[in-house]
Amino acid sequence: MTDQINYSGSEVDYADVLQTMRLVAEMNSGYHTEAEVRDYLGRITGQPVPDTVRVFTPLNINYGRRLTFGRDCFVNFGCTFLALGGITIEDDVFIGPHCVLATEYHPENPAARHTLLTKPIVVRRNAWLGADVKVLAGVTIGENAIVAAGSVVTKDVPAGTVVAGSPARVLREIDPDR
């Protein structure tokens, strides 16, 4: 086994991946208070996690050093963050149960399929991802947007819209009276 993971022309220290896996396993075992979960997340990401972040475990993360949480975020049970490419979760974001944010993908070409490619995911302020949403590499979810449950997001979501489906499509703009 090599000490580096190569992807998109960059390297990740495999020891950091193993450390993330160890900390995630500890965080997901048994009961932990919200403060203890935030402490684990701080050690996983290598940066302070705001004390207004609330995460229900289990939460699966493969690499924490490129994952950031804004203030007043909520992440529900059973989510998976494949974060080698970087995931930014801004302030006031809600993420429903069993969501997957996957910054990693493989080329279509069979000869190159063992190559790991990445693109970052950004979830802008006050966005809401319903249950079982999948967000693919390179996507930005716009400010105040809503992604309906079960959607697969393959393209950027405009701010202030509701999207749904697979692939997700804009249904309408947010109705402030609704």
Residues with active-site annotation: 106
E-strand stretches of the chain = 4-7, 10-13, 54-55, 59-61, 67-69, 74-75, 79-82, 87-89, 94-95, 100-102, 104-105, 117-118, 121-123, 128-129, 134-136, 140-141, 146-147, 152-153, 161-165, 168-173
